[in-house]
Amino acid sequence: MINAQWEYGEAVRLTRNVRNDGTYPGLEPGAPLVRRGSIGYVVDVGTFLQDQIIYSVNFLEEGKIVGCREEELIGGDEPWTPSRFEFREKVRAAKLLAVGGEVLVPLGAVGEVIKVIRDAQDGVAYHIHFDSLPGRILQIQEDILEPAESAE
């Protein structure tokens, strides 16, 4: 068996929102299950396709036991910086973004979060791919982004 990072009873924190992949009974596929930042306790450790560790985690406040991949978890006592957005979330530029007078991203341009950077120098930042700037990824501070659906 692959070496598991956490064992039965250990506290872990979820680093991204978990939605129903169709295996959680009583909820529609895609329905939110547990929000990132939530702390739960490992109740079982198993594998998927012999190469991925899956932890059954009991999130007591949510009243749910959910399967989580190792990369979705950190130790319950590890530092945690909450973020407004997460991987794959659609965002909108709240300001015009320019470098040397050249507008790279117009105000209101829609992009997608590629990576969340919780330990950036000036607070949470993101790697964003904007539809208006194909093939380029920009690191953008959280305070100049807004949810994409806010302007619709």
> Residue 21 belongs to a domain with what CATH number?
2.30.30
85 within domain boundaries: no
- Higher pLDDT among residues 62 and 52, named by residue: 62
Number of domains in the chain: 2
Cα–Cα dist 32/19, whole Å: 4
99 within domain boundaries: yes
Residue 26 has pLDDT above 60, yes or no: yes
Phi, psi of 148 (to 5 degrees): -60, -35
**Host domain of residue 52:** 11-75
One-letter amino acid at 8 equals Y
Q: Of the candidates 61, 19, 71, 26, which has an alpha carbon nearest to the alpha carbon of residue 40?
A: 61
Sign for the pseudo-dihedral over CA of 36, 116, 28, 92: positive
Q: Of the candidates 76, 4, 72, which has an alpha carbon nearest to the alpha carbon of residue 40?
A: 76
Q: What percent of the chain shows pLDDT beyond 70? A: 97
118 plus 64 within the same structural domain: no
Could you give the C-alpha distances from 132 to 91, 103, 146, in angstroms and in order?
13, 11, 16
67 plus 106 within the same structural domain: no
How do residues 74-132 score in pLDDT, each as one tens digit?
A: 899 988 888 888 878 899 999 999 989 899 999 999 999 988 888 788 888 999 999 98
Q: What percent of the chain shows pLDDT beyond 90? A: 42
137 within domain boundaries: yes
2 within domain boundaries: no
Neighbour tally for 76: CB within 10 Å: 15
Ramachandran region, residue 22 (left: φ > 0; alpha: ψ -120 to 50; beta: rest): left
- Higher pLDDT among residues 41 and 84, named by residue: 41
How do residues 65-75 score in pLDDT, each as one tens digit?
A: 999 888 889 89
- Higher pLDDT among residues 51 and 138, named by residue: 138
- Answer yes or no: are the C-beta atoms of 105 and 99 closer than 8 Å: no
